[in-house]
Chains A and B, each alone.
Chain A
C-alpha cells in the first residue's frame, strides 16, 4: 500500500478511535490505539506527531456530535466557576491539549518501539 494512503488511513483510524473512546467515556485511554498506530510511523516522528492533532480533533468531534451548544455552554460555566477568562475557550483548549499529548505520546511510544526492535535485529 502506498505510504501516503497508509498514513492517511492511520490518521483516520486515530481520529475515529479517539472519537469513539471519548463518546463512550474512555477519553483518557485514547493513547492505547495510538500505540498501535505509532508502529506505522517508524522513523517518521513529525508525521507521528500529526496523529496527535487528529486524536484531539476526534475528541472535539465527540462534543460536537450531540448537544454541542449545551456542552460548550457547560465548559463556559466551568470557566466561570474557577475564574478563567475567555468563556469556554481555555477549558476546551486544555481538554484538546491533553488529548493531543496522550495521542502524540502514544504514537511516539509505538513509533519508537518499532525502531528499537528493528535496530536490535
Chain B
C-alpha cells in the first residue's frame, strides 16, 4: 500500500476501516456477521460451560416454595442418577440436565414437531414444516393438555420437568450457547408443557409403521394383475415366520369374527393411474407448494427406523429361578444419541433406563419390580383416502352422500431469510389432507387424536408387576404400537402389542381407499381381542418386528413386516438354551449369525456343485462357513452381496415389466426393491418360500426377456455377478474381501453435519443378525442394549452408543461407541453409587 500523502492516507485508512467494519457486520450465505461469530468472548470461540464431569453432587433446590434435596450421580458411561426426597426434585433435575447436555437436540426436536424448523434453518426445510403442520401436532398437543388433570401424575411431572428445562435456559449465558445456535443466530425459548406433548407427537409419528406404504403400494395394485400381486405380495407372508402371538400359544384372541374376511386385499379400491400423483406438484401449491414427491422426501426423517429385538424368559428356561428381560431397539445410531440414560429415585420410584431428550421419566428400562423393552409393532397405523372435492367448492368434500365442510386450520410458517408461508390444513372425517389439488389425498393416522403415551411411561416407571404393566398399556398406549416385552420380580413374563388397530368395513387398506365414507374407520380392535401373551408355558416371549399374529387372526393389522429372520434366530436360541442368566442373555443379544444362511447357503452350495463350481476357492469358503457375519470372514462378504443380487435379479425384471418407476417408490421401499429388501418386507420371504418349496416356479423366470430360470440358475447368476463385482473392486479373493474391511459402523450426526460424524470402525453382523448392523457403512443398529435379571434387578446392564454430550469436542461425545461395538455392557446402577440409588432394593436407603 502506498500513500501519496498524509491526507490521502488518512482518507484511505478511514475508508478501509469502514469497509472492514461493514464487512464484519453483515451476514452472508446464512452465516452470522463475523464480528459476532468470531468474537473471542461471545462467538464460537467463547469459553464453554463446565464440561460433563463424573462424580457425585448434592444440591438443594427451591421451586415454588417446595425444597428438594437432590443427589446427582454422574457416571463415566454418561448415565446420570438423580435421587430426590420428592417428585418435583427428580423431574426438575432431569429437565435441567437434559437441557444442559442436549439443548440443541431438544430444540431441533421441538421445532420439528411444531413445524417451525424453517424459522431457524431457512427455506430448505419448509416442506418438512408443512408436513408437520398437517400432522396437527400443535392442535393435538393442545387437546391433550386441555384434557390433563392439573393435579394428576402426568401434568405435575411435566410441570416439574419443564421447570427444570427453563431453569437451565433462563440462566444460560449467551456466550455459552451451543455452537449450532450461534451459527444459526438462535436463542432457545422457554419450554411449556405443550412443547413436551408436541415432541411426544413427533415421536409417535416417527414410530408409527406403515407411513406412506399404501400410496406406494397402490401403484402395484393398479399396475400388476391380481395373480402377480398374490404371488409377489401376499397379504400374509409366505415365508418362515414365528409370529409374536401365535394361535398355538394364545388361541383366545382368535375367536371373534373380525374384519379381514370383508376386505379385498389384492385389488385397488381406488384406481386412477392415468392421472399419476407426480403430475400434481404444481396444483398443490396452495398447501405450501408441497408435491407428493416433496412429501415423500419430508417423511424420510432420520429417526424413522423400525428394527429391534426384545424377549423375556422365565420358568423352564431359567430353572424356575427368575424372569429375565433383554431389549435392543434398532434406530439410527447417532451422535448425540436419541437416548439419554437416567436413574430416577424419588419416594415410591426407582427406575433406570433411557429416555428421549425432551421427555420426563424413563421409556425403556426397569424398576425393582418390573423390566420392559419394546420393538416396533410394524402394524398399519396410517390409512389413505382419495377425497372427492368439487373444484368450485374446494372447502367441501363428499362423504356419505353429502358435501361436508373441511375443518380448516390456517397456519403461518415463518421462514428464515424468506417470506413466510401461509397454508390451509384441511381435516376431513377420515384424515387430514396431505395431498391437495385435483386428487386430494387424506391420511388418517391414529395419532391425530389425543393420546397419553407419556402417561404410560410415567406409570410403568413405578409399576409393580407384569399384570399392572398390561393394565397401563391397555389404558394409555394407543399410537405407534410397540411389542412390549415384560418380566417381573415374581417370575412372570408377557408381551403386549397393544394400541389402536383401526377396523374398516370393506376395501383394501393396503392401497388408497375411496374417501366417500363407506371405507372409513369404524372402530378399533377391542382390547380383549388384541394380541398378547402372558406366562406362556414354553417359558419365553419374543419379538423382532416379525408378524404379530398367525394367519387365522380375524382382524387385518398390516402386512409389511420385517422378514422375521432375527426373530427366527432368537426363537432358535431360546429353544436351544437352558439356565438363562445375564451372560447368556447378552450372548443372544450379540449374536451375529445370519439366519438366512440356514435357508439359502445349503441351496447355494448345492447349486455350485451342480454347475461345476464344486472345486473352487469360493465353494470351499462358503462350504466351510458357519453363517456368522464376523469381521474376518470373506464368506460373509460374498454372501452379503450374493443375497442382495439374488433378490434384485429375481424381482427387478418384474418392476421393469410392470413399469414401476423411481417416483413410484422403486429402490425406496422394500416391496419395490429398497435397500432393506434383504431383511424386510415380502420379497425376500417369497424367495425363501420359492427356493425351499418351489424351485422351478414360474416367478424365477424373467418376464422381460422371457428366459426360463429356476432357483438354481438365478442363484448362480447372482453368484457370478457378486464375484465379478468383488473381483473388480477388491481384486482376487484375499484378506481385502474380509467382512470387517467392507462392513463398518459409525455414529452419524443427528444434525446431518458430516464433520460431526464419528470415524468408521470394522463391525460384525448384518441386517439379519440379532446384533444388527444394516447396510455396509452402517449408522443403524442397536441404539440401546439392556439385560435385566428381575430376581436381582440392581445388577442389570446396558449401554447406548455415543455419549452424554452433544458437543463433538467433548470426551463424552462418543466415548461409548467402541465399547458398544465390542459388546461391552455397563452396570446400570454402579456398585459405588450412594445407598439412595439402591432404594427399594436390599440395603438401599430412602432418598
Seen from chain A, the residues whose Cβ lies within 8 Å of a Cβ on chain B are 22-25, 27-28, 31, 45, 59, 62-63, 66-67, 69-83, 91-92, 94-95, 98, 101-102, 105-106, 108-109, 111-113, 115-116, 119
Contact = CB atoms under 8 A, between A and B. Distances in A.
Nearest to B17: A105
B809 interface: yes
Given A102-B20, A109-B17, A75 B6 contact: no
Nearest to A19: B40
Given A70-B809, A112-B13, A116-B7, A81 B42 contact: no
7 contacts: A22-B39, A78-B44, A98-B24, A102-B21, A112-B7, A112-B10, A115-B9
Contacts of B14: 109
A21 B754 CA distance: 35
Sorted nearest first, the 10 A-B pairs with minimum C-beta distance are A80-B755, A73-B809, A115-B6, A25-B41, A112-B10, A105-B17, A108-B13, A112-B9, A95-B38, A28-B35
Given A24-B41, A71-B46, A79-B755, 20 more contacts: A23-B40, A25-B41, A27-B40, A45-B9, A62-B41, A70-B809, A74-B179, A75-B44, A80-B755, A81-B179, A82-B183, A98-B20, A102-B20, A102-B21, A108-B13, A109-B13, A109-B14, A112-B7, A112-B10, A115-B9
Given A74-B44, A109-B14, A27 B39 contact: yes
Interface in B268-309: none
B808 interface: yes
Contact of A101 (B3, B20, B37, B40): B20
B35 A119 contact: no
B41 A77 contact: no
Contact of B48 (A25, A74, A101): A74
B34 interface: yes
Given A59-B40, A67-B48, A94-B38, A74 B10 contact: no
Nearest to A97: B20
Contacts of A105: 13, 16-17, 20
Contact of B756 (A71, A77, A101): A77
Contacts of B809: 69-70, 73-74, 76-77
Given A70-B809, A71-B45, A98 B17 contact: no
B47 interface: yes
A69 B7 CA distance: 45
B583 interface: no
B801 to A, nearest CB: 20
A66 B6 CA distance: 41
Interface string B1-43: 0010011011001101100110010000001001101111110
A92 B38 CA distance: 8
Nearest to A76: B809
Residue of A69, A92, A101, A106 with most partner-chain B CB within 10 A: A101
B183 A78 contact: yes
A95 B16 CA distance: 17
A42 to B, nearest CB: 9
Contacts of A115: 6, 9
A71 to B, nearest CB: 4
Nearest to A28: B35
A109 to B, nearest CB: 5
B47 A27 contact: no
Contacts of A95: 34, 38, 40, 45
A20 B762 CA distance: 49
Contacts of A22: 39-41
Contacts of B179: 74, 77-78, 81
Contacts of A98: 20, 24, 34, 38
Q: Chain B, interface size: which category?
A: 35 or more
A116 B6 contact: yes
B38 A91 contact: yes
B522 interface: no
Contacts of A113: 6, 10
Contacts of A82: 31, 183
Contact of A77 (B13, B44, B51, B175): B44
A27 B45 contact: no
B753 interface: yes
A22 B6 CA distance: 30
Residue of A59, A66, A71 with most partner-chain B CB within 10 A: A71
A106 B180 CA distance: 33
A27 B228 CA distance: 71
Contacts of A106: 17
A75 B40 CA distance: 10
B10 A63 contact: no
A24 B24 CA distance: 18
Contacts of B175: 25
A38 to B, nearest CB: 9
B181 to A, nearest CB: 12
B3 to A, nearest CB: 8
Contacts of B40: 22-23, 27, 59, 62-63, 71, 95
Nearest to B24: A98
Contacts of A102: 17, 20-21
A25 B47 contact: no
Contacts of B51: 70
Contacts of B755: 77, 79-81, 83
Given A23-B41, A70-B809, A78-B179, A31 B17 contact: yes
Interface in B363-418: none
Nearest to A67: B47
A73 B453 CA distance: 40
Contacts of B10: 109, 112-113, 116
A94 B43 CA distance: 14
Contacts of B24: 28, 98
Nearest to B180: A81
A62 B47 CA distance: 10
A70 B809 CA distance: 7
Residue of B10, B37, B39, B40 with most partner-chain A CB within 10 A: B40
A92 B34 CA distance: 12
Nearest to B36: A28
Residue of A45, A78, A91, A113 with most partner-chain B CB within 10 A: A78
Contacts of A108: 9, 13, 16
A46 to B, nearest CB: 11
Interface in B150-188: 175, 179-180, 183
B44 A28 contact: no
A23 to B, nearest CB: 6
B54 to A, nearest CB: 18
A15 B48 CA distance: 24
B13 A80 contact: no
A23 B14 CA distance: 26
A28 B22 CA distance: 11
A66 to B, nearest CB: 5
A5 to B, nearest CB: 25
Contact of A94 (B34, B42, B180): B34
B38 A70 contact: no
A80 B46 CA distance: 17
A79 B51 CA distance: 22
Nearest to B2: A45
A47 B40 CA distance: 26
Residue of A27, A82, A101, A106 with most partner-chain B CB within 10 A: A27
A113 to B, nearest CB: 6
A66 B175 CA distance: 14
A113 B9 CA distance: 9
Nearest to A72: B45
Nearest to A101: B20
